[in-house]
Amino acid sequence: MAAPCVSCCGALCYRLFIGSRVTLAPRQGFWKTAAAEFQRGAGSQLLKPIHTTVVTTKKNVPVSRHETYTEEFIKKQIEEFNIGKRHLANMMGEDPETFTQEDIDHPEQIFPKQRAIQWGEDGRPFHFLFYTGKQSYYALMHEVYGKVLQVEKHQNQLQVKGVLPEKTEIRDLIGSRWLIKEELEEMLVEKLSDQDYTQFIRLLEKLLALQCGPAEEEFVQRFRRRVPTQSQQQLREPVQYDERGVAFSACEGKRKSARAEAVVYEQGSGRITVNGIDYLLYFPVLQDREQLMFPFHFLDRLGKHDVTCTVSGGGRSSQAGAIRLAMARALCSFVSEKEVEWMRQETTKLLSHRSLEPCWWADQPATAAWLWSRKNWDPNSDVQERADWTQADGCGGMGGHENVCCPQRHGVSPPEHRGGVVSATAPHCIRAHVLLISIRLSHSSSQRVFITTTDCPSTQVMGCLHIPVETDSKH
């Protein structure tokens, strides 16, 4: 079903090896490079020669691309191939007698699967669905649909006989998930579109919905992956004992920018001390105290534990949330597995914390808005920094890197600049689609390039680019 994939490393090794052994040999008046010779001789489906240099000693002799080889030549190549294989085994430290292709092939994690050439020497493709463009995918769909039809036919037959199909028990659909699109692409070594993937999954679900036999089940299981139970990922802190022999458990928690560490004692009367202060005084707001009581109330252990915690950072509410998380984690060590799962399902305050999205937009280049004012505009001014163009919100210096000087009014060309480049940030109205229409060589030390935009309704010259050119190099 999958296209014949040759791990490129094995081929590479062979190629490198054999290539070094086969020397340039004259044959029928043509000189050929080692690479080409090797590839013909190997006889397997390797890449077509792409760097073939043909040098003729005779003139006016046509170049023939498709050579026929004699039997002895092919046999000789096979012998040399086998000898090369043994040499390779020696180099790799393996036993030459039992050296096979599998030993050479490196694991696929190092070298990704690649497609071998899908057609033979005569140009005919091997797979019957080659011309669909995605042969593996369509072959797979064809196979699955075949199975669906088969199962339906079988069920119809059973119904005709009057035998009802037995209801199979529910498969473990919870602990597994379908392959994702990337995994399927990797399996088939083919690019797929989202619609292809959706269709494939739908077809598999249709197959599952029918009462299919064990063979089909196994086939479908190939496209499912295990999903781990989340509660197993929760680490349980070991219970520690202090000098008086009282069991306690210490854990950390965080929420936004608050960091808390809670020590929960197994025996207690429900006292909570935060940073040395009683929680009633530290959290005057009822909502925060409710948060502190939440884990205990959920597990029905309200007056049974003593807690000492330290907290820093954040605000009132985030400190309460951080302590809540820390306490919940600490409680996991005193509590059964089932209750841990309940806590997780109920809140995941065990596994994660809530935090703000970091301010990613602060690093984006600011495209400054430029404002032109007629009041400050001086058409005869010679200065590089023009007063008529100002940046709107003062976040200058970060925007685009094109060296475009301030745009001109139509018909007025700027005075000649002697050298130097006006490196102002680009006005936001000129973005993409800048066309260089002409490069005019001038006698001045700078070249002038006129720029126009495609979105401009008229072909108004929007600006000109000054490129400093050194007088020595004349381009």
Partner 1 sequence: MAARAAKVARGWSASVLGVRPAACWLPGLTQVRWSRYGPEYRDPRVEKEHYRKPAAELTEEERYDRELRKTQLIKAAPATTTGSVFEDPVISKFTNMMMKGGNKVLARSLMTQTLEAVKRKQFEKYQAASAEEQATIERNPYVIFHQALKNCEPVIGLVPILRGGHFYQVPVPLAERRRRFLAMKWMITECREKKQRRTLMPEKLSHELLEAFRNQGPVIRRKQEMHKMAEANRALAHYRWW
Nearer of residues 120 and 270 to partner 1, judged by Cβ: 270
222 near partner 1 (CB under 8 A): no
In angstroms, give the least distance from the CB of 154 to partner 1: 15
When binding is defined by CB under 8 A, the residue of 15, 344, 417, 466 that contacts partner 1 is 344
When binding is defined by CB under 8 A, the residue of 209, 281, 359, 383 that contacts partner 1 is 209
Sheet holding 26-27, edge to edge: 26-27, 30-31, 55-56
When binding is defined by CB under 8 A, the residue of 24, 50, 174, 383 that contacts partner 1 is 174
- Rounded to whole angstroms, the Cα distance separating 304 from 45 reads 74
Nearer of residues 54 and 285 to partner 1, judged by Cβ: 285
When binding is defined by CB under 8 A, the residue of 137, 197, 248, 265 that contacts partner 1 is 197
The DSSP line for 132-151 is: GS-HHHHHHHHHHHHHHHHH
* Residue 99 burial (10 A CB sphere; 0-12, 13-18, 19+): middle
Nearer of residues 17 and 282 to partner 1, judged by Cβ: 282
- Rounded to whole angstroms, the Cα distance separating 469 from 466 reads 9
When binding is defined by CB under 8 A, the residue of 132, 221, 229, 459 that contacts partner 1 is 229
Are 211 and 220 within 8 A, CB to CB?
A: no
199 near partner 1 (CB under 8 A): no
Are 390 and 370 within 8 A, CB to CB?
A: yes
359 near partner 1 (CB under 8 A): no
Size of the site for partner 1 (CB under 8 A): 53
DSSP 130: G
The DSSP line for 146-208 is: HHHHHHHHHHHHHHHHTPPPP-PPPP--SSEEEPPHHHHHHHHTS---HHHHHHHHHHHHHHH
345 near partner 1 (CB under 8 A): yes
- The Cβ-side half-sphere exposure at 320, using a 13 Å CA radius, reads 18
Three-class SS of residue 126?
A: coil
Amino acid at the residue 209 = A
* Residue 19 burial (10 A CB sphere; 0-12, 13-18, 19+): middle
When binding is defined by CB under 8 A, the residue of 169, 385, 455, 472 that contacts partner 1 is 169
Nearer of residues 250 and 293 to partner 1, judged by Cβ: 293
432 near partner 1 (CB under 8 A): no
Three-class SS of residue 225?
A: strand
When binding is defined by CB under 8 A, the residue of 6, 18, 307, 320 that contacts partner 1 is 320
Nearer of residues 249 and 319 to partner 1, judged by Cβ: 319
Positions 262 through 301 that interact with partner 1 (CB under 8 A): 285-287, 290-291, 293-294, 297-298, 300
408 near partner 1 (CB under 8 A): no
Query: Interface residues with partner 1 (CB under 8 A)?
Result: 167-171, 173-175, 177-178, 180, 194, 197-198, 201-202, 205, 208-211, 227-231, 285-287, 290-291, 293-294, 297-298, 300, 317, 320-321, 341-342, 344-349, 352-357
